[in-house]
Structure 1
Amino acid sequence: MISSSTPAGILDRLSKASSAEDFFSLLGVDYDPKIVNVARLHILKRMGQYFAEEQFTGAEEPAIRARCKAMLEQAYADFVSSTPIDQRVFKVLKDAVADPKKAVAFVALSELK
């Protein structure tokens, strides 16, 4: 039985986080604010992709925390060495290159009135 004085588990605390910086702080991951300012949503989306592949059933709290930290570190590293455009974690970016033969609508500025 868990008493009311027991601190919330890391998964519960992460579910209540309200910013990318909260995730980094809760998991003790160092980061460059310049990278997070540019790619915050992409980093969290990538972490979510990694998270979806995990099974935490039966794992102890220290192991869960370590795995969450590793997922955030990997997601962050993905965007340290690459850009959000290169990584394409969001559908709109994937769709932009899905069919390279598809004609792109172009309107010249001289055409606008």
Structure 2
Amino acid sequence: MSHLRKTLANLSSAEDFLKFLNIDYEETVVHINRLHILKRFHDYLKREKNTEDLDDQSLKTLYVKLLSQAYQDFVVSDAVSEKVFKVFHQAIGVSHVSLEKVAVSAPKAR
């Protein structure tokens, strides 16, 4: 694992990531959307291919780009509109429960 990845693995808050990557941010935006920003950043990272081959400088450049993009998503929009988490999809009626997850319980004896 690269030095950069090890350092990032020890960061825990959106503010930690933004500060470490030297990304300017408004505290109020992050305060309201910190989990959404990190989730969106994670989603953007998952879309990237072949990041294992990048050196630390290239990786840092990519992380700055993607975290900046994730942060900006919530500067110009909000959590409800962006629907990062599953609960927001369920709130608009998009829900799916597989039959395997439905447990059939026996009626209680009286």
TM-score range, shorter chain: 0.7 to 0.9
* Distance in 2, Cα, partners of 1:39 & 1:69: 18
> Deviations along 1:17-60, whole A, 9 cap, x unmatched?
02111100111111000000000000000000001112312211
| Secondary structure of residue in 1 paired with 2:71 | helix
Q: Give 1:95 deviation, angstroms.
A: 1.1
TM-score by length of 2: 0.79
Alignment of 1:1-113 (within 5 A): 9-54=3-48, 55-99=50-94
Q: Give 1:9 deviation, angstroms.
A: 2.0
Partner residue in 1 for 2:98: none
* Distance in 2, Cα, partners of 1:78 & 1:48: 13
* Distance in 2, Cα, partners of 1:20 & 1:57: 23
Seq. identity, %: 36
**Cα RMSD, aligned residues only:** 1.2
- Matched positions, count: 92
> Deviations along 1:49-92, whole A, 9 cap, x unmatched?
00111231221110000000101000000000000000000000
Where structure 2 has 5 or more consecutive residues not aligned to the other structure, the ranges are 95-110
